[in-house]
């Protein structure tokens, strides 16, 4: 069984990498990765500061970039740099190996800011108690288990802690969102990254942190426009309506929102 999964995974991986490689080869200036084929400039990939931050993210993955999330990381670095000027700490719900958060911390020379980065994950994949019936039906739990088995999701909180040991001002909180949210012992948040690939804990995190978000705080939803994650998008749209705000849909698969100043 594990062997069959492994073969399927490798085959799917090969097909995916080839599908992105073809447009890049025919049209060399095109960005083609991570569900995005774009003709506009992606000059940011050549920026030495971007490269350094991105490579720190790759280091968190164990040195091999199995994501190719360049444009997503570019958006994440911009969002975090914007939030770094505001009062408040940083939170990520769904950290896994710490790819995006390591890139952010490297880019901002983290300990210099005097903020704390709270890093929340089960480190055991999705918690079935916080997955909807539809997500379960669409195979969310099976995919989460496969991601853990193949090392796409981190399965060791200790390894993740070792990755972040380069910085002082952070706390890794292992356990299930929403149950761990009250372990985030700050009442001011400037940057919130939500990336748990299932709606119930994501909605809970946004609702929980909303009153704590500093005016102008940046919230980045990793999965908002990803194909096949309609339930997450609709759930977030419902929360946004309740809160009287709008989410900007990005072609990277992300969603972006700001806490209004008033």
- What is the nearest approach in angstroms of ligand SAM to the Cβ of residue 192? 12
213-221 and 189-194 as β-strands: parallel, antiparallel, unpaired?
Answer: parallel
65 or 237, CB closer to ligand SAM?
A: 65
Omega before residue 178 within 30° of 0, cis = yes
Is position 74 an interface residue for ligand SAM (rule: CB under 6 A)?
A: no
Near ligand SAM in 197-226, by CB under 6 A = 197-198, 201
Render 162-228 in DSSP notation, one character per residue: HHHTT-SSEEEEES-TTTTGGG---S-EEEEEE--SSHHHHHHHHHHHGGGEEEEEEEEETTTT-TT
| Nearest distance in Å: CB 242, ligand SAM | 21
> Closest separation between CB of residue 65 and ligand SAM, Å?
11
Q: Helix crossing, 70-83 with 99-108: angle to 10°?
A: 50
Q: How far is the CB of 28 from ligand SAM (least distance, A)?
A: 28
Instruction: Kindly give, in sequence order, each residue whose CB lies less than 8 Å from that of residue 257, ignoring residues fewer than 6 positions away.
Output: 218, 219, 221, 240, 245, 246, 247, 248
What's the min distance (Å) between Cβ of 262 and ligand SAM? 31
Count of positions on this chain that bind ligand SAM (CB under 6 A): 22
The single residue listed with the structure tokens 């091999």 is 64
Q: Which one of 88, 125, 253, 255 is in contact with ligand SAM (CB under 6 A)?
A: 125
Which of residues 118, 153, 164, 209 is near ligand SAM by CB under 6 A? 153
The nearer residue to ligand SAM, 32 or 102, going by C-beta atoms, is 102
Instruction: Pick one of 90, 117, 130, 191: the residue that binds ligand SAM (CB under 6 A).
Output: 130
Task: Provide the pairing of β-strand 248-249 with 255-258.
Answer: antiparallel
- Compute the C-alpha angle 105/108/110, nearest 5°: 55
Chain positions 181 to 200 lying near ligand SAM, rule: CB under 6 A, are 195-198
Rg (CA), the chain: 18
- Which of 77, 177, 192, 217 binds ligand SAM (CB under 6 A)? It is 177
Token pair belonging to 179: 């149950």
- Binding residues for ligand SAM, rule: CB under 6 A, are 94-97, 99-100, 120-122, 125-127, 130, 153-154, 176-177, 195-198, 201
């Amino acid at each position: 069984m594990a062997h069959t999964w492994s073969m399927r995974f490798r085959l799917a991986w090969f097909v995916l990498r080839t599908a992105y490689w073809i447009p890049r080869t025919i049209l060399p200036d095109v960005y083609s990765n991570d569900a995005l084929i774009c003709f506009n400039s992606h000059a940011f990939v050549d920026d030495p500061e971007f490269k350094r931050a991105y490579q720190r993210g790759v280091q968190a993955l164990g040195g091999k970039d199995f994501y190719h999330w360049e444009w997503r990381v570019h958006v994440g670095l911009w969002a975090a740099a914007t939030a770094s000027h505001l009062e408040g700490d940083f939170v990520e719900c769904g950290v896994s190996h710490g790819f995006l958060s390591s890139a952010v911390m490297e880019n901002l020379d983290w300990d210099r800011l005097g903020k704390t980065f709270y890093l929340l994950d089960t480190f055991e994949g999705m918690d079935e108690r916080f997955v909807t019936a539809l997500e379960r039906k669409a195979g969310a739990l099976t995919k989460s288990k496969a991601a853990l088995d193949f090392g796409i999701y981190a399965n060791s909180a200790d390894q993740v802690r070792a990755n972040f040991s380069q910085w002082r001002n952070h706390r890794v909180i292992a356990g299930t969102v929403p149950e761990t949210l009250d372990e985030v012992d700050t009442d001011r948040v400037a940057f919130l990254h939500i990336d748990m690939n299932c709606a119930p804990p994501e909605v809970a995190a946004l609702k929980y942190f909303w009153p704590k978000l500093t005016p102008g705080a940046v919230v980045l939803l990793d999965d908002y426009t990803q194909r096949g994650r309609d339930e997450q998008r609709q759930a977030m749209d419902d929360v946004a309506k309740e809160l009287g705000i709008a989410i900007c849909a990005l072609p990277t698969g992300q969603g972006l929102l700001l806490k209004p100043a008033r």
